[in-house]
Amino acid sequence: MRFRRYIPLIVFLVLGLIAHPVEAKTLRMAYDSDPTSLDPHEQLSGATLQMSHLLFDPLVRFRQDMTLEPRLATSWEKIDDRTTRFHLRPDVTFQSGRKLSAQDVVWTVGRLKQSPDFKALFEPFEGARVINDLTVDLITKEPYPLVMNLATYIFPMDREFYSGNDERGHPKSEIVKDGSSFASTHASGTGPFIVTEREPGVRLKLKRFADYWDKASPGNVDEIVFTPIKEPATRVAALLAGDVDFIAPVPPTDLARVGADPCCTLITMPSTRVLTFELNQQRQSAFKDPRVRLAINYAINRQGIAEKIMRGFATAAGELSPPRPSGSLSSPARRCLVD
């Protein structure tokens, strides 16, 4: 097995949206995929995580330099080898009007452990425990170095909003993979935006949450209109024509073209994303031979891929760990595994 690490996260931003920080605006965004659900636990994907940061808030999140930033948790400390204690903000309100409490965090962790996509990540955790209304412990089964990494995936959900049954008699808390559920079409998070309109695959409209806790960073966007545009060339054309204000990602083949256009600012950021090429020995017995695996390893021109296909916005990786991981092992950031 060999691992390739693709570094850049590339976005485009119209200058006018950052020139007047006081004036509220509508931001027209186009991404390469549509969040298939409003349920943050239904799918582990880039689109779902992007949506989660708009509708919900994590306990902590990564800064651009890969250090951790407090969000719903103001501080944390190790209690023992298996226990990390988090202290929650006292002024956080869900979009339903309820106050965030440690009970919501415990409920959310329990749900993550049941999610088809997230349960493998949270398997090392025994669970979470309420200390008081604003203090919660994350407990692992044994000493585990990636507790803080996994805390970036914990977006507390409103346990009362998702309690009981929907009009069909189904539990509102159920996780339905690629299906219809209450949580896939309804959301009550603590994030900066509220869903006002949603047509899957066509359009998602959000408005600013008036009672959002982070008053220090109000931003200048009142409304977001999100349109999925899968085709890279169409996405770039929409930006250059002024039909949208922000696109992500910018295809490497168009970097030079759009970077030279005066209408926009190109922003690149390092990423922890690692793309891997996995050889399935169960499906192809030849892959059990280390000589075959080594031959395939030599046959793949990783440096050529980074330079030609990714236009230099990637590096050839010889290991799974990205630069400066925040734990002693690799970050569980989004990875693409290909058989």
Q: Which two tokens stand for residue 26?
A: 């509508």
Q: Are strands 2-5 and 193-199 parallel, antiparallel or unpaired?
A: unpaired
The whole-number pLDDT of residue 36 equals: 83
Which of 262, 259, 297 has its CA nearest to residue 278?
297
Task: Please state, in angstroms and as integers, the Cα–Cα distance from residue 312 to each residue in 222, 259, 316, following that order.
Answer: 36, 15, 10
Consecutive 10-residue runs of the chain (339 residues): their mean pLDDT?
A: 34 39 79 88 89 95 88 96 97 96 98 95 96 97 95 96 94 90 94 93 92 86 92 92 90 83 80 79 93 91 85 75 46 31
The whole-number pLDDT of residue 315 equals: 82
Query: Which residue type sits at 81?
Result: D
Coil, strand, or helix at residue 190? Answer: coil
Cβ atoms of residues 46 and 33 within 8 Å:
yes
Residue 253 DSSP one-character state:
G
CATH 3.40.190.10 maps onto the chain at 41-191
- Cβ neighbours of 164 (radius 10 Å): 10
The whole-number pLDDT of residue 264 equals: 85
277-280: which pairs have CB atoms within 8 A and are 24 or more residues apart? 277/1, 277/2, 277/3, 277/4, 277/338, 278/1, 278/337, 278/338, 278/339, 279/1, 279/339, 280/339
Cβ atoms of residues 85 and 100 within 8 Å:
no
59: left (phi over 0), alpha (psi -120 to 50) or beta: alpha
Instruction: Tell me the whole-structure pTM to 2 decimals.
Output: 0.78
CA distance 105 to 43: 19
Overall CATH class of domain 41-191: alpha beta
Residue 14 DSSP one-character state:
E
pLDDT, tens only, 4-54: 333 333 344 433 333 344 566 899 999 888 888 999 999 998 888 889 999
CA distance 240 to 196: 27
